A = this chain, B = another copy of it.
Amino acid sequence: MSGKQVFEVVFDAEGVAVGKMRNEVTLTARAPFTSVNMLATDEGPFQGGEGTAPTPLEFFLTGLVGCLMTQIRAFSRKLKIEVSDVKVRCRAEWTAETGTVGPYEGSPRGFHLDVDVVSDAPAEDVARLVEAAKRGCFVEQTLAVPNTVTHRLRINEGAWTDA
């Protein structure tokens, strides 16, 4: 990316462990707007949970599909390319393979998105809108690149160390 910065997006997410496998995650938006929401994840019996909420992967995929759909509708207005309906379907696949440190390691196999649009606009305009939405969708752009993901670890309220 070499464009001029338009705005920044900053979120803090803090998860606490409750129940057997349930996590309650508080999301605090810092920019470009401020908000606080809580979302809970759980696991079914496969992972030893109690099924009180959807799994983390379902939240992740909702973020992906919802982000692209949101960008299509938001950019529809900005680009003046009318869309009267949109549906997005995503097939997502991962493999768990034997690892060297833990029981298994995760590996993404790909994300295949079908974008189903109803519009009176010329087909080339709709295609341009969808292309713009893909580039504007923060989640898609995150999937497209190897990201900087850093970790710190603290045990029993001791010092933070890089992990």
Instruction: Name A residues whose Cβ lies closer than 8 Å to a Cβ of B.
Output: 1-17, 21, 23, 25, 27, 29, 32-33, 35, 37, 39, 41, 43-49, 54-67, 69-70, 73-75, 77-79, 85-99, 101-119, 123, 126-157, 160, 163
Q: Which residues of B contact A134 (CB under 8 A)?
A: 151
Residues A27 and B58 in contact, CB atoms below 8 Å apart: yes
Q: Which residues of B contact A147 (CB under 8 A)?
A: 108, 110-111, 143-144
| Number of copies of this kind of chain in the complex | 2
Residues B39 and A114 in contact, CB atoms below 8 Å apart: no
Which of A27, A46, A75 has its CB near the most chain B CB atoms (within 10 A)?
A: A27
Which of A60, A105, A119 has its CB near the most chain B CB atoms (within 10 A)?
A: A60
Residues A23 and B148 in contact, CB atoms below 8 Å apart: no
Known: A94-B9, A138-B94. A70 touches B54 (CB 8 A): no
Sampled A-B contacts (20; CB under 8 Å): A6-B104, A12-B90, A16-B87, A23-B70, A55-B66, A57-B139, A59-B59, A59-B60, A61-B63, A78-B102, A94-B141, A102-B131, A102-B136, A105-B135, A106-B135, A106-B137, A111-B150, A115-B154, A117-B154, A119-B155
Residues A130 and B13 in contact, CB atoms below 8 Å apart: no
Which of A32, A86, A155 has its CB near the most chain B CB atoms (within 10 A)?
A: A155
Q: Which residues of B contact A61 (CB under 8 A)?
A: 11, 13, 25, 27, 63
Taking the nearest CB of chain B, how far is it from the CB of A162, in angstroms?
Answer: 10
Choose one: B64, B97, B112, B128; the contact of A150 (CB below 8 Å).
B112
Known: A65-B13, A102-B133, A137-B106. A127 touches B153 (CB 8 A): yes
